[in-house]
Chains A and B, each alone.
Chain A
Amino acid sequence: MTAGLGALYRRRLAVALNNPIAITGQLLLPVLWVLVVGPALARAFGRFSHVDYFTYIAIGQIVFIIPFSAMFAGLVVIQDRNFGILRELLVAPIRRSMIPVANIATVLTIAMGQLALIVALSLIRGAHLHVAAGRLALGLMAAALLSIATYALAELLAYRITQPQIFGTLIPAIGATPYALCGAIYPLATLPAGVRQFAYALPWTHAVAVLRYGLMGGPASGLHAIWHLHSNAEMALLSLGVLAAFAALTVGSALRAFERATVA
């Protein structure tokens, strides 16, 4: 059933790791935020807030790097198709659905590595994380689901868009725009009411709220702003449900697009 998954996963991981410039380039901005911009903003504005602002935006960087990297990884799909590698994989004696599944697994692996790097750098730079096993698991699940969903979205688009330069314009649009609206760097309560309601519907918003609950603990204000319930765990699970639904929708759509794009 899953024959070939390991080989495809290793190949895709090797393609990614063979391109250290791309990985470094994607990490540059969040690392800059965690090491330089975050502490500077915390010094400038932290005194107006009761929360640890540096830790707040350090975790917010996770919902930048994961979708951005996922969108960027969609370019490999276009490259594989345009250079014929996909055809070579399609004539292998494996279930073809293993190709996008292996791609998703690879991007998820890289996302978890990036998350670990951001958390490690944040701790070095003085972030205060309050981790408990259950909450941490919820946070990791939120990051994983966001990674799966956004990469599946990238893969879906990559099967419809043949030109990498057009796909390239979508990388910042999808990879970075929701990040600016999801409460990663400021509380959503400061937004106008209409925009705020839109922001609450974004899966990115749910991801950052669960990540903060998972890694910072405390009052889970992000989750409260969305759900207005009493139980933090219950709200976190609801937000995970939103992320899971988003992931199911994009993965299902990507698999259908893959099938349509690969069999004449």
Chain B
Amino acid sequence: MDPVVVRALTKTYPSGVEAVRGISFDVRSGEVFGLLGPNGAGKTTTLGVLTTLVKPSGGTAMVGGHSVVADPLAARGSIGVVFQDSVLDNEFSGEANLRLHARLWRVPDADARIAALLEAVGLAERASDSVRTYSGGMRRRLEIARALLGRPSVLFLDEPTLGLDPIMRQELWHTVSMLREREQVTVLLSTHYLEEAQNVCDRVAIIDQGKIIALGTPAQLIDRVGREMLELRVEGDPNELLGALRELGPTVGEPLLAAATVSLASSDSPEELSTRVTSLEPSRLGVRTMTVRPTTLSDVFLILTSHGTGREAAVAGASS
């Protein structure tokens, strides 16, 4: 059985808010799986259900082979969690924080395990210092070490790089990647940094308004909307340009307007795309600059979460 199995999961809060509306997905053993979505999409609620902090309203969720509803204790015994906000006992040293966790998780041979993980995350020399003196990156690394202490089968990372500078973010992903290999752990993460998700995740699910609207490898999702991204910087009224772009045919997606930039994804080659757009006499339509570049996961995310249309196509194969 896959370490995370979610079927038709729903969560409606007492206030009536439907945070999760029938999502299903599996996370395979050893993979890094990303949950992406705009604020309020249902990512945190989904992670809350999987970590037993939120009671689902319907459906099933299994973690480490245990139902989060029927056997939450066993489910918790198979997970490690790194929360969005730094959650450390500031009164204590890094080592003392790990020691408390080791007692709660009943980690055998805790001393050796703590020493090994502190070494792995580069905090061995600061182990006895109060965590108050740690930088944001050090705190995050300590939290990852703590989450791995109990040898979980699934590691949950909720926005782990939020608030970190780019160098710290890179270091953190390097640490996660190294520990994932070493600990043979499955990782389920949520992040707003889509370029990180593209680099780190084996597969991603994009959630919007409580539903999964796309699921697959980053490359699969990019293929679904088109590998090339056209960006046109416009002056004046863009409506005529938008109308002309919509006439380009099925290999070109729905154009998006953001500020003075119109962008669209296409399955055409860069040359074909340039030729077809040039044929529209773009300067007549107010286009000042034109760029064609590879589509990124960020573009996929924006396209899928901005449109009411096209979702069904992207979701096709979501259970694969």
Contact = CB atoms under 8 A, between A and B. Distances in A.
Contacts of A85: 87, 89
Nearest to B49: A264
B115 interface: no
A6 B89 CA distance: 17
B53 interface: yes
A88 B83 contact: yes
Contacts, number: 68
A93 B73 contact: yes
Q: Is the interface of B mostly helix, strand, loop or mixed?
A: loop
B289 interface: no
A84 B86 contact: yes
Given A10-B100, A18-B91, 9 more contacts: A11-B100, A19-B91, A88-B83, A88-B87, A90-B52, A90-B53, A93-B77, A94-B73, A95-B73
B153 to A, nearest CB: 13
Interface residues of B, number: 29
Contact of B74 (A7, A14, A90, A93): A93
Interface of B: 13, 48, 51-55, 73-74, 76-77, 79, 81, 83, 85-87, 89-92, 96, 100-101, 103-106, 150
Going nearest first, the 5 A-B pairs with the smallest beta carbon separation are A7-B103, A93-B77, A84-B87, A92-B104, A93-B76
16 contacts: A6-B103, A7-B100, A14-B91, A18-B91, A19-B91, A88-B87, A88-B101, A91-B52, A91-B81, A92-B101, A92-B104, A92-B105, A93-B77, A93-B105, A263-B54, A264-B48
A91 B53 contact: yes
Nearest to A11: B100
Contacts of A10: 100, 103
Nearest to A94: B104
A15 B76 contact: no
Nearest to A7: B103
A8 B106 CA distance: 12
Contacts of B150: 93
Contacts of B81: 88, 91
Contacts of A83: 87, 90
Contacts of B105: 92-93
A4 B104 contact: yes
A130 interface: no
B15 to A, nearest CB: 11
A85 B100 CA distance: 12
